[in-house]
Amino acid sequence: MLQQTSARNAPLISPEQTWVVTNAVQADATAAQLPDVPRANILVEPCGRNTAPCIGLAAIHLLRQDPDAVMLVVPADHVIRPTETFQKAVQRATDVVANSPETFVLFGVPPTFPSTGFGYIERGGSLSDGTDDAYHVASFREKPDRETATGFLDAGCYYWNCGIFVWRADAILRALEAQQPNISRRLATLRESLGTPDEEAALHREFPQMTSISIDHAVLEHAENVAVLEAPFEWDDVGSWHALERLMGADENRNVIDAPHCGVDTTGCIIRSTEQEHLIGTIGMEDCVIVHTADATLVARKDDENAIKQLVALIEERGYDRFL
């Protein structure tokens, strides 16, 4: 999916203009997957600090390369089709930024079902450029319960927040300076160290001290100059087990099976295994997620996927990190 993401951007962004922020565990594999991207463009976080520090780190590197840099921020775990439609949408977003350099542009995906796993963007009035696909952002909404999500779907003015952004690198740094002084101050120190012998030490010294916060909470929810473009492309976030059902389809019993499996009275389940020599047997299971790997097994209600985050926190608390 990392390769697909890079290829999808390729006609608009050269390998030399491509930057990847990852962690130390995945850095070498990332470089191997993207051999055309310069190794120096793979930025390694000393630790996870959510998307605001991550985006800020990328921004200071982009500005060293190009003081007028416009950033396209894309996660690497999304399925987007068709590619040409996505590229035209990105070009549309860059046109908005060119006409209004302080504007932050988000893509909003029209919801197709009442998802409780995605955040939502409420659109406001149309931008003043005479088009019918770009709007001011009225509000951001957290992942809702099912009743609220159904209301969003029925209202027709809410989008899924897919986490794809377009803005000037200097504009997002100014916004971080205004809203997140802790992050901004440390980014400024890192920026001064770029290209010096102190660069690596400064990164390991400053980055872990940054506030761990998403770019949405850090900047976008407070900014007035935020626009949302209605995404004309198909989109899915493969960070959710429900994505397997949407991407692979279900059988006559509403089951999505990617494993050796035998089931009795089993309906509406997502069943996956990385071990093809391991059979999963189920009896009387309904609307569950069952995932088997070599060293761990997950069994969860399908309608409560967000509780997996609570489970991950509990696993870490009890010292079972090696199984994550």
One domain for residues 150 and 7: yes
- Model confidence, pTM: 0.84
**The two three-digit tokens of residue 293, written as one number:** 């790997």
Cross-strand partners of 22: 44
Cα separation of 299 and 314, whole Å? 15
Q: How many domains does the chain have?
A: 2
Average confidence score pLDDT of the chain: 93
Host H or E run for residue 190: helix 181-193
Other beta carbons within 10 angstroms of residue 94's beta carbon come to 17
Cα separation of 140 and 7, whole Å? 30
State the angle between helix axes of 2-9 and 83-99 in degrees (0 to 180), rounded to the nearest 10. Answer: 60
Host H or E run for residue 294: none
Q: What is the span of the domain harbouring residue 314?
A: 242-323
One domain for residues 223 and 283: no
Output the domain CATH number for residue 80: 3.90.550.10
Cα separation of 301 and 246, whole Å? 17
User: Of 205, 237, 269, which residue constitutes the final position of a domain?
Assistant: 237
Q: What is the pLDDT of residue 313?
A: 86
Other beta carbons within 10 angstroms of residue 174's beta carbon come to 14
Q: What is the pLDDT of residue 129?
A: 62
pLDDT tens for 147-194 read 999 999 999 999 999 999 999 999 999 999 999 999 999 999 999 999
For a pLDDT cut of 90, what percent of the chain falls above it? Answer: 84
One domain for residues 261 and 189: no
User: Of 237, 272, 297, which residue constitutes the final position of a domain?
Assistant: 237
DSSP letter assigned to residue 150 = H
One domain for residues 106 and 248: no
One domain for residues 225 and 247: no
With tokens 């870490």, the residue in question is 316
Beta strands in the chain (DSSP E): 20-23, 42-45, 70-73, 78-81, 104-109, 120-126, 134-141, 158-168, 226-230, 234-237, 256-258, 261-264, 270-273, 280-283, 288-292, 297-301
Cα separation of 22 and 42, whole Å? 7
One domain for residues 203 and 250: no
One domain for residues 94 and 128: yes
Other beta carbons within 10 angstroms of residue 304's beta carbon come to 12
pLDDT tens for 204-233 read 999 999 999 999 999 999 999 999 999 999
pLDDT tens for 18-59 read 999 999 999 999 999 999 999 999 999 999 999 999 999 999
One domain for residues 299 and 254: yes
End-to-end CA distance of the chain: 20
